Amino acid sequence: MYRSGNITARIFERQILTPRPGTSVNCARQFYENLVPSYTIYDVDCPDNSFKKFTDDGQYLISFSRSHQELIVYRPTWLSFSFKEEDCGSCDLPPKAQRFDSFFTQLYSTPIASCSEFICKDFFLYVESHQFGLFATSTVQIHNAPALEGAIPGVPSIEKITFHLVRLEDGTILDEKVFHNDFIHLPHNMGVFLYDDLLCIMSLRYQAIHILQIRDSGSLVAVRTIGNFCREDDELFLSSHSQDWQGISFLSGIKQRLLSFIFRGLWSEEIDSALRVQGLKKKFYFHFQDYVDLVMSKVQFLDRHHLLIKFGSVDGVVSRSAEQYPAFFAVYNMETTEIISFHQNSSEELYYLFEQFCDHFLVASRYSSHVNFISSHSNSIHALEQLNSIKNKTSSFSQFVRKMLASLNFGCQSQSPSPYLDQSLFRYDEKLISAVERPRQVIDHPVKFISRRQPSTLKFKIKSGPEAGVADNRTKRMSSFLFHPILPFALSIQQTNMQPTVVNVHFRR
């Protein structure tokens, strides 16, 4: 739509030109090419907090105390000051610009962890429709815990895990959900997924998927639990016939659904009865124990009725390099309690679905308009070009498929919706920064953001750490970038072992 790069000309063109149907929001986002962070204040004087992220609507900055006991929430503001001279563009900023409280107003500090629990600093989910925040606290992880009361052997245990639903406006704790002697992957939200008002929590130790609903009143209501039982009356039915099945051990309900789906699929592959029996012996009964030994490791919503469940070995569940272990993905219908799809992590069919319909796996909330612009290889030609480049360089397509599918299931709300990370607007080195909110190793040169419309034009650059860099490059340093989802504003945070955290503020002056 826009032919000029001048913001004044763009505003004039917006007044006289009408964008094509369905493109008005995308055209409006093109203004961010001109509204970029143009100034950096290095090493601001800020509280010694652990900063997590901006909420997706930009209303709050979430942080935790260094003791990991208190939730501290700020409201983003803007640096304002008066200047009497004519050339205010070349003047130095006032001394108060070096302070964190010139850009943020603290709303409250609320203790949410007990003396034996600590806040998981890498866990936070935002219910934008009601401005609720979901936080997690836990006690210390216990390795080599005995598998008691139906727990899976080999999975660690945490004595107490508590989820806290907080009203972010005033810090009121509205409700809590507690799990005892369980294990849930809390870092980067990997064990919990939020879809509108529905919440699913993956209990690894007891192989149960807990479905909860977040009510408008701020209560967490248990809807169902999927694992040993799939239907609400399964447990009642089995207990009423317990005398008929004394001494018989059953597989869990979800495992029975999975085995029956695999059996029916192999049964229907052959019409000839002799070939059918031979195929079942080779493909089903030979691997029967392998299927029985599978455990659920991750879960996410695909919509309000379907779950994507990842199955794998116990070793793969607790390992940091899980992609080297075989894994499977199943689509489960919660209403019919049926498995409707099952794929191995080397399935080319699943990969092509992932490549073409990546946004369906990201599952954007219907309440949020910001996350709809997160770039993926199914909505951005530039992201698709990068994916194809990696694909063309690989020596083994099967290894490439396994590596790509290792990213499933997606961590909920793990990507920033900032327009400056929109690959249709800016090009940047994804080895240094990306929409995925993960700390990265520090490098001393800045991250450059290049215009997509003008490939040789540098729009802005940002750098974490001290302005002059660090003399000792042997020390491991990690950095993270927190972009505001709407404003031309970002925080860069550099953390070094045994040294104070360095926070820089990047904004449009």
pLDDT in tens, 88-109: 555 677 777 889 999 999 999 9
Residue 107 resides in a domain? no
What is the gyration radius of the CA atoms in the chain, in angstroms? 26
pLDDT, one tens digit per residue, over 130-146 is 899 999 999 999 888 88
The 3-state secondary structure of 319-343 reads: CCCHHHCCEEEEEEECCCCEEEEEE
Structure tokens at 66: 């260094």
Candidate ranges 242-256, 315-329, 440-454; pick with highest mean pLDDT: 440-454
Q: What is the pLDDT of residues 323-362, one digit of tens each?
A: 677 899 999 999 999 999 999 998 999 999 998 888 888 8
More confident residue, 211 or 475: 211
For the record, the structure tokens of 367 come out as 């309440």
Question: How confident is the model over 116-131, as a mean pLDDT?
Answer: 93
pLDDT at 134: 97
Is residue 137 situated within a structural domain? no
pLDDT for residue 90? 59
Q: Distance between CA atoms of 109 and 102, rounded to whole angstroms?
A: 18
The pLDDT assigned to 364 comes to 65
The reported pLDDT for the residue numbered 176 is 96
| Confidence band, pLDDT 50/70/90 cuts, at residue 368 | low
Tell me, what's the pLDDT at 15? Answer: 80
Question: Is the pLDDT confidence value at 268 over 70?
Answer: yes
pLDDT band at 82 (very low <50, low <70, confident <90, very high): low
The number of domains in the chain is 1
Is residue 268 included in any domain, yes or no? Answer: no
Percent of the chain with pLDDT over 70: 90
pLDDT digits (tens, 9 = 90+) for 8-46: 888 887 788 777 776 666 777 888 888 899 889 999 999
pTM for the whole structure = 0.90
Cα 415 from Cα 406, distance rounded (Å): 17
Summarised one tens digit per residue, pLDDT across range 488-501 is: 999 999 887 767 78
Evaluate the CA torsion angle 446, 450, 455, 457 in order and state its sign.
negative
DSSP string spanning 255-296? HHHHHHHHHHHHHTT-SSHHHHHHHHIIIIITTHHHHHT-EE
C-alpha separations of 479 from 40, 253, 459, 493, 503 in Å: 16, 44, 22, 5, 10
The answer, yes or no, to whether residue 247 has pLDDT greater than 70, is no
Range in 59-63, 88-92, 385-389, 500-504 the model is least confident about: 88-92
pLDDT of residue 29: 80
Query: Which stretch of 21-25, 110-114, 254-258 has the lowest confidence by average pLDDT?
Result: 21-25
Element of type H or E holding 495: strand 489-496
Is 218 part of a structural domain of the chain?
Answer: no
Give the pLDDT of residue 472. 62
The answer as to whether 334 is a domain residue is yes
159: exposed, middle or buried (C-beta count within 10 Å: 0-12, 13-18, 19+)? middle
pLDDT value of residue 236 = 80
Query: Is 277 domain-assigned?
Result: no
Of 375 and 338, the structure prediction assigns the larger pLDDT to 338
> How many Cβ atoms sit within 10 Å of the Cβ of residue 164?
21
At residue 264, the pLDDT reads: 92
pLDDT over 80 at 121, yes or no: yes
Three-class DSSP category at 481 = strand
Report if residue 392 sits inside a domain: yes
Domain of residue 304, residue span: 294-409
Instruction: Give me the pLDDT at residue 370, please.
Output: 65
- Closest CA relative to residue 502, chosen from 100, 183, 156: 100
CA-to-CA distance for 426 and 445, rounded, in angstroms? Answer: 18
Domain assignment present for residue 23? The answer is no
